Amino acid sequence: MSKIELSYHLGSENSATHTADLSKPRQQALLRNALMDLLQAVREHGSIAAAAKSLGMSYRHVWGELKKWEMKLNQNLIVWEKGMPAELSEFASKLLWAERQAQARLAAPIEALMAELERTFAVAFDPEAHLLTLYASHDDALVRLREFTAGQSLHLDIRFCGSVDAVRALNEGRCELAGFHTLSQPKLTSLSAQTYKPLLKPGQHKLIGFAQRTQGLLVRPGNPLNIHSLQDVMTKRLRYVNRGLGTGTRLLLDELLTNQGLASDQLLGYDHQELSHSAVANCISSGQADTGLAIESAALSSGLDFIPIARENYWLVCLKSALDSPPVQALRKHLASPEWQSTLHEMLGYQVNQSGNVHSLRKELPWWVLKPRKTLQIKY
């Protein structure tokens, strides 16, 4: 069997056809195919010349296309008898039958796909709409923000990945914004400083406030294992589920362990990794692990209890050159709006953090120490 490939065409509203009535002419099929159009025209008009005229093509072009398809499929499509009306071969008739069956079965999903494509491409044709590509550490508030701005001419193309990977994507030009999270006022010698300092440059990058959120240990309802800290997890040899390298939550865990003088190799399940907060929650609720670090909303959605461990800032970062671009300005306006801040405040485990304001890297991430200027002393 030949490989099936799908394609679509852009056109004006007047030229688009959206009918699922397969009894109507082939020109109104939901999913178009050039060969099927040719075969249907030959069947309806009984000659290559009449078929070509109905399609607005030359006889030579239609004849050449049919011959090309016969060679490609290694099958005869037309019964070529001189002086006789053109007829479809048995194979060509079966092709049209199979295509009609597929059109009938796929009418509903094809219409849904067409509608989704039209909604998506409407952004490109809307002069008032803005598109902003954002690589970010997974966060439920960002998902809510995407829904919030979608109806207000700002479309967020969010690609969830690890915090470190998100900042790297920004520096490599793959996105306009990156989302990452750190403990509030991390120390100069912290793991966060060692990780992010080489990636962020004062004067080149700008922080935009997004939210404060709580991360903590997810435990089964009622906390039957009486877990209150990472020390409890280690002492009781409980099964932990971790996040992958490059994620902000993995970095947070390592930083908390370092700050408390705990060794990661003593944490049972340190190498058991999941891709998201919700995946960690599902792992615990299904009994595959006893606990793991995640955001509070992940616990709520999975019916788990939540033990707060750390407050952190979730930042959006962009290049200084993008700060005044229309899409970033539109985002900052939405973040600062009372409507969004009210929405964020109602989300479990989140607080507003001067949302939409531009923050200083040196002030919020005090890893860069300004060296005092040397003064020239002249002795007399």
- Which residue among 90, 125, 160 closes a domain? 125
One domain, residues 50 and 115: yes
One domain, residues 201 and 303: yes
Residues near 149 by beta carbon (within 8 Å), at least 6 away in sequence: 155, 156, 330, 331, 334
In-domain check, residue 21: no
H or E segment to which residue 130 belongs:
strand 130-136
Give the model confidence (pLDDT) of 61-97 as tens digits.
Answer: 999 999 999 999 999 999 877 767 788 999 999 999 9
Contacts 24+ apart (CB under 8 A), 7-10: 8/114, 8/117, 10/121
> What's the pTM?
0.69
Distance CA 277, CA 244 (A): 11
One domain, residues 300 and 264: yes
Residue type at 127 in one-letter notation: P
Q: Could you tell me the residue range of the domain that residue 92 belongs to?
A: 26-125
Across 142-296, the runs of DSSP E, i.e. the strands, are 154-160, 177-183, 205-219, 242-243, 273-274, 292-295
Give the model confidence (pLDDT) of 309-351 as tens digits.
Answer: 999 999 999 999 999 999 999 999 999 999 999 999 999 889 9
**CATH (domain of 152):** 3.40.190.290
In-domain check, residue 378: no
- Which residue among 100, 125, 150 closes a domain? 125
**CATH (domain of 54):** 1.10.10.10
One domain, residues 245 and 301: yes
Give the model confidence (pLDDT) of 194-210 as tens digits.
Answer: 999 999 999 899 999 99
| Cβ proximity of 239 and 292 under 8 Å | no
In-domain check, residue 357: yes
Distance CA 141, CA 228 (A): 26
One domain, residues 152 and 119: no
With H, G, I as helix, E, B as strand and everything else as coil, classify residue 97.
helix
One domain, residues 317 and 251: yes
One domain, residues 83 and 224: no
